């Protein structure tokens, strides 16, 4: 509820209210042509104004004068040519004000540019930040943060010099909303960026390591800010996103040079499995590349009719012996030893129905190669590794987040 209206008006109250309002309007050029009439506390405003906002302004002033009951606002906007000229005059005054503030605007811009330039100069000291962080990815991150802080600081100081603190708050608030929206929109990119940082710190592998990342296998060429580059055994390049690498199961074949191989051979159920195991172990132990420690082993896996499955296991040093070649030579040697001791690998069973009077022609046994005195070449295959080394040497200018001087996880 508003203030209580008196039953009788005070003497000369209408004249007093009119004088007060006219006095106020006389001090405001935009309201100089407004006339005021007061009757029983009701103020009637008439006249013309150039700006529609002045109409509401006049009503607000009159309504705050003591003793006013209500205000009848009958002010209209002046649409004459003279009013248009006055509007142009206002535009001219604003333009003049802008021109007058150009020195201050130039000084604020110069200060912002100087502060930003200092930030860029500091960020350009790549060697310093690399020594501080000891990681190229972190060094680049520090440089970017320095650039951002100095540029933002220059903008803040410039706006403060121009007296635009309110604008600064609005800009920062809008930037926060935009940043939140971009964060949701670029979630995968941000995840990949953070994964690159964590991989560069953890380093689960080094350059030229043979690894398996989920279903991807190859030698590591380099770790970039976006992906891990592998070279497959076929010599092809494979790019795996770092977000996938960070969450994947990584199998590193190079980290431990000792690696176990295994294979399974079958003998007939009538044969002696113990004799087969000992023959196979003797054959494995006779191979120079099979390690004595851990010692080779032979296990009976299955003894189901019509065959007995025996698993043979051995260890080799990958730095001296190629895994694929070594396993192949070991399988050949064990197979030959079993056959030489009458433990031939059984042929698949075929049921044949014989009619009366027919005879089954016997096939002569296939000739078997005599045992060789040497195991063949088992040296490590270096073709893919050499291609990786050549590519890394030719692309030494590219940024690689792998650092041989840092410990591996």
Q: Which residues contact 329 (CB under 8 A, 6 or more apart)?
A: 287, 289, 375, 376, 378
- What one-character DSSP code corresponds to residue 397? T
- The DSSP-derived string for 272-335 is -HHHHHHHHHHHHHTSTTB-SSSPPEEEEEEEETTEEEEEEEEEEETTTS-HHHHHHHHHHHHH
Q: Does the pTM of the predicted model rise above 0.85? A: no
The pLDDT score that the predictor gives to residue 316 is 94
Q: Is the dihedral of CA 317, 323, 327, 333 positive or negative?
A: negative
CB neighbours of residue 339 within 10 Å: 14
User: Is 227 within the bounds of a domain?
Assistant: yes
Q: Are residues 42 and 70 in the same domain?
A: yes
Q: Are residues 271 and 301 in the same domain?
A: yes
Q: Are residues 162 and 215 in the same domain?
A: no
Q: Read off the CATH number of the domain in which 72 is found.
A: 3.30.1340.30
Q: Are residues 170 and 127 in the same domain?
A: yes
User: Is 351 within the bounds of a domain?
Assistant: no
Q: Are residues 236 and 293 in the same domain?
A: no
User: Is 345 within the bounds of a domain?
Assistant: no
Containing structural domain, residue 305 = 258-340
Query: Domain ends where: 284, 315, 340?
Result: 340
* Peptide bond connecting 255 to the previous residue in cis, omega within 30 degrees of 0: no
The pLDDT score that the predictor gives to residue 4 is 62
Relative orientation angle of helices 136-161 and 165-185, to the nearest 10 degrees: 150
Q: Read off the CATH number of the domain in which 329 is found.
A: 3.30.70.100
The pLDDT score that the predictor gives to residue 102 is 78
Q: Are residues 262 and 245 in the same domain?
A: no
User: Is 148 within the bounds of a domain?
Assistant: yes
Q: Are residues 248 and 266 in the same domain?
A: no
List own/partner pairs for 370-373 with CB under 8 A and 24 or more apart. Answer: 371/336, 371/340
Q: Is the dihedral of CA 64, 65, 71, 73 positive or negative?
A: negative
The pLDDT score that the predictor gives to residue 14 is 85
Split into its structural domains, the chain has a count of: 4
User: Is 354 within the bounds of a domain?
Assistant: no
Q: Which residues of the chain have pLDDT under 70?
A: 1-11, 80-95, 97-100, 133-137, 164-172, 174-175, 177-188, 347-375, 396-398, 404-409
The pLDDT score that the predictor gives to residue 364 is 47
Q: Are residues 247 and 393 in the same domain?
A: yes
Q: Read off the CATH number of the domain in which 399 is found.
A: 2.30.30.60
Q: Write out the two tokens for 128.
A: 């310093």
Q: Are residues 286 and 242 in the same domain?
A: no
Q: Are residues 115 and 179 in the same domain?
A: yes
First to last CA, the chain: 75
The pLDDT score that the predictor gives to residue 297 is 94
User: Is 141 within the bounds of a domain?
Assistant: yes
Q: Around 346, how many Cα atoms within 13 Å sit in the side-chain half-sphere?
A: 14
User: Is 238 within the bounds of a domain?
Assistant: yes
Q: Are residues 110 and 144 in the same domain?
A: yes
The pLDDT score that the predictor gives to residue 88 is 58
The pLDDT score that the predictor gives to residue 51 is 79
Planar angle of CA 346, 349, 352, nearest 5 degrees: 140
Q: Are residues 26 and 48 in the same domain?
A: yes
Nearest Cα residue to 200 out of 176, 222, 231, 174: 222
Classify the phi-psi angles of 203: left when phi > 0, otherwise alpha if psi is within -120 to 50, otherwise beta: left
User: Is 6 within the bounds of a domain?
Assistant: no
Paired residues of 309 in beta bridges: 266, 302
Burial of 234-267, coded b for 16+ CB within 10 Å and e otherwise, reads: eeeebebbbbebbebebebbbeeeebebebebbb
């Amino acid at each position: 509820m508003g203030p209580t209206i008196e039953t009788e008006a005070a003497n000369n109250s209408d004249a007093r209210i009119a004088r007060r309002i006219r006095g106020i309007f006389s001090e405001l050029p935009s309201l100089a042509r407004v006339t005021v009439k007061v009757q029983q506390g009701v103020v009637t405003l008439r006249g013309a104004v150039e700006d529609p906002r002045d109409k509401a302004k006049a009503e607000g002033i009159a309504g705050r004068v003591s003793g006013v009951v209500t205000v009848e606002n009958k002010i209209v906007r002046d649409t004459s040519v003279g009013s248009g000229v006055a509007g142009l005059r206002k535009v001219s005054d604003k333009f003049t004000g802008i021109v007058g503030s150009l020195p201050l605007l130039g000084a604020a811009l110069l200060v912002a540019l100087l502060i930003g330039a200092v930030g860029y100069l500091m960020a350009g000291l790549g060697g310093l930040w690399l020594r501080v962080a000891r990681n190229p990815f972190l060094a680049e991150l520090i440089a970017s943060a320095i650039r951002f802080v100095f540029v933002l600081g220059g903008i803040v100081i410039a706006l403060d010099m121009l007296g635009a603190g309110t604008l600064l708050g609005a800009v920062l608030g809008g930037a926060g909303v935009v940043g939140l929206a971009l964060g949701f929109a670029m979630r995968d990119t941000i995840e990949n960026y953070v994964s690159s940082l964590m991989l560069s710190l953890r380093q689960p592998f080094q350059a030229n390591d043979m690894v398996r990342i989920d279903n991807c296998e190859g030698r590591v060429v380099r770790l970039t800010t976006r992906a891990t580059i592998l070279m497959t055994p076929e010599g092809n390049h494979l790019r795996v996103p770092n977000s996938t690498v960070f969450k994947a199961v990584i199998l590193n074949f190079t980290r431990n040079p000792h690696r176990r191989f295994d294979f399974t051979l079958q003998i007939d159920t009538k044969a002696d499995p113990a004799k087969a195991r000992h023959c196979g172990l003797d054959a494995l132990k006779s191979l120079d590349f099979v390690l004595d420690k851990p010692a080779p082993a032979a296990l009976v896996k299955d003894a189901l009719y019509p065959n007995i499955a025996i698993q043979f296991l051995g260890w080799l040093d990958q730095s001296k012996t190629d895994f694929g070649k070594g396993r192949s030579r070991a399988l050949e040697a064990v197979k030959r030893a079993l056959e030489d001791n009458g433990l031939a690998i059984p042929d698949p069973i075929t049921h044949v129905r014989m009619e009366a009077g027919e005879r089954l022609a016997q096939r002569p046994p296939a000739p078997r190669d005599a045992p060789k005195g040497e195991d063949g070449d088992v040296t490590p295959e270096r073709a893919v590794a050499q291609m990786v080394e050549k590519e890394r040497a030719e692309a030494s200018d590219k940024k690689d987040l792998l650092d041989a001087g840092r410990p591996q996880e």
